[in-house]
Amino acid sequence: MSKGFLPISKDDMNRMKIDQLDFVYVIGDAYVDHPSFGHAIISRVLEANGYKIGIIAQPDWKDKNSINVLGEPRLGFLVMAGNMDSMVNHYYVSKKRRTNDAFTPGGIMGKRPDHATLVYCNLIRQIYKNKPIIVGGIEASLRRLAHYDYWSNSLKRSLLLDSGADLLLYGMGERSIVETADALNSGIDIKDITFIEGSVYKAKSKDSVYDAIELPDYQALLKDKANYARSFYIQYTNTDPFSGKRLVEKYNDNLYIIQNPASKPLSSQDMDRVYSLPYMRTYHPSYEKFGGVPAIEEVKFSVVSNRGCFGGCSFCALTFHQGRMIQVRSHESILAEANQMIWDKDFKGYIHDVGGPTANFRHMACDKQQTKGVCTNKQCLFPKPCNNLKIDHKDYLALLRKLRELPNVKKVFIRSGIRFDYLIHDKDEEFFHELCEHHVSGQLKVAPEHIADAVLSRMGKPENSVYEKFLDKFKQMNMELGKKQFVVPYLMSSHPGSTMKEAIRLAEYLRDLGYMPEQVQDFYPTPSTISTCMYYTGLDPRTMEEVYVPTNPHEKAMQRALIQYRNPKNYDLVVEALSVAHRMDLIGFDKKCLIRPRKGDKAYQNPNANSKDKKLVKKKTIRNVHKKKTK
């Protein structure tokens, strides 16, 4: 294995005495050789298995020669859009263009195209008509079958068809990429590689496909959104590597997309091996002149301890990508990585995170999952914790204690998120106590997302009473420790199921709490989530019930403004929202009111003004808002 970065140029190849690479990896991010970046893991895993691989990072998609800087690979091209979906990377939920890209040198925006996976594949095909192309990463993984595309507001075909790629590897690809490489290396044609777990391929017929579920065909999905909701839920219940079935999606009589069951989860030994590979743990030195790659700052002094999440939030794509089964690294592996970090010249004594999708999940949800996989018809935590769920923080606590004892370590933080509805059901309070004592720096960020149970049920989140119980316990624990620490809740506006009534309830809750969030996440319909399916179809695919969905941009803006009703910039939107919901009683001087009338409304300057005068002022206020909106 190489002792430095992988080749990015012919000069690098010559210096490393490589005549031809086995694979050329085309990526939408800058080249960062750190295990928090998917391209780094895949390339190092291939290298560890004897393959020569080079990196083309952020090629100029307007110049087909940019794809040829490393020459023709012996076995094929690998393509990944980046650590983020390229469309999410480029656009806010409002569809306005972002101004910075943390995965690009200097944070410059515009160094990759929209739908980067598709564009890069088409670029390769201009020069190499028959060379195998294998796509992977989050963008490809979530578009492996027909999917709703929020940015064009349309139902798109499998990415495998529009990209011209030969094979799509979904999920975490360490197993599937090596099996695919070995198959190509043995002389098997890419069109005959139909047997890899965690892969999706094209077929001219379904005759050779066995033990499969046939999804509604693409034309049926276009004709009726209810068909898409049914198809999506079949996919959702077949993401498990043990219980999941093979899926077939028809496009015409001579074109089918076949999804094989997911790859088996990695054992702790496998995970340890992946994270022990010789990563350089930073960005390529060629980016130094641009000021480096901003994204490294978030992960440089953090440690990935687990994968997967059995939380099952409706708006999260983890079920489709990493899966619901927890995979963990051993303490020895994590401590070895931490021992590398703590001697770095830039280390200030703070390990920023020890976690994964959910930090406090350190084992499978129940023993059954080890052989039978996850339940297809119910969740582990929602709506109530399953009776078989193992709620135990002992292993995670032991790990954190070991990390705290390392030399040079002042504090170990947990930034990747604590699942409070899991923590609050642990009868042993030892972890909760040490969390507050050692791992919170004034504020603990958690994600209740909303407080209205009608919305929470659509989100796959527990009832608000569970969050309230957690808050009470957190307050009590900090009082016992003599600490003044606070919970910072992540909140989401405009999720399917949220009417203006629920949005106002959330605003009133924040009023009573005396808290005004600095950031609010408006629901973002990204591919392959239950919530996005609801957004597109107006149906909850789990029950096929109709769901209210705020899709109008102006209504979404009002719901978002209500959460930050104290911000003067939101005043007009808040007034309009209260008018629409017939809650003008929340405008005034009473402590229960959200906002006051504007200066100049004389009736409201006198708290004893009669109700008739107040009604006139409210009508005037609404009229002024609508005038501004018209202008």
Residue ranges for the binding site for [4Fe-4S] cluster? 309, 313, 316
Q: Which residues are annotated as a binding site?
A: 309, 313, 316
Angle of helix 571-580 versus helix 611-630 axis, rounded to 10: 120
Sheet strands (E) in 246-305:
246-252, 255-259, 282-283, 302-304
**Sign of the C-alpha dihedral, residues 538, 540, 541, 546?**
negative
**Within a 10 A sphere around the Cβ of 207, how many other Cβ atoms?**
8
Distance CA 22, CA 2 (A): 15
Tokens of residue 205, six digits: 């017929």
Distance CA 552, CA 565 (A): 20
CA 80 vs CA 19, 43, 54, 58, 445: distances in Å: 24, 12, 14, 10, 31
CA 278 vs CA 31, 241, 295, 346: distances in Å: 15, 29, 20, 20
Among 169, 172, 216, which residue's Cα sits nearest to residue 194?
169
3-state secondary structure of 193: coil
Distance CA 46, CA 285 (A): 22
**Within a 10 A sphere around the Cβ of 544, how many other Cβ atoms?**
12
Q: What is the 3-state secondary structure (H, E, C) of 507-567?
A: HHHHHHHCCCCCCCEECCCCCCCHHHHHHHHCEECCCCEECCCCCCHHHHHHHHHHHCCCC
CA 522 vs CA 175, 286, 503, 516, 577: distances in Å: 36, 37, 12, 16, 16
Distance CA 184, CA 193 (A): 8
Tokens of residue 344, six digits: 């770095």
**Within a 10 A sphere around the Cβ of 277, how many other Cβ atoms?**
16
Distance CA 77, CA 295 (A): 25
Distance CA 193, CA 182 (A): 11
Output the DSSP codes for 58-114. Answer: S--TT-GGGGGTT---SSEEEEE--SS-HHHHHB-TTSPBPSB-TTSGGGBS-SS-T
Q: What is the 3-state secondary structure (H, E, C) of 125-188?
A: HHHCCCCCEEEEHHHHHCCCCCEEECCCCEEECCHHHHHCCCEEECCCCHHHHHHHHHHHHCCC
3-state secondary structure of 124: helix
Distance CA 67, CA 60 (A): 8
Backbone phi and psi for residue 282, each to the nearest 5 degrees, phi listed first: -155, 180
Distance CA 192, CA 180 (A): 11
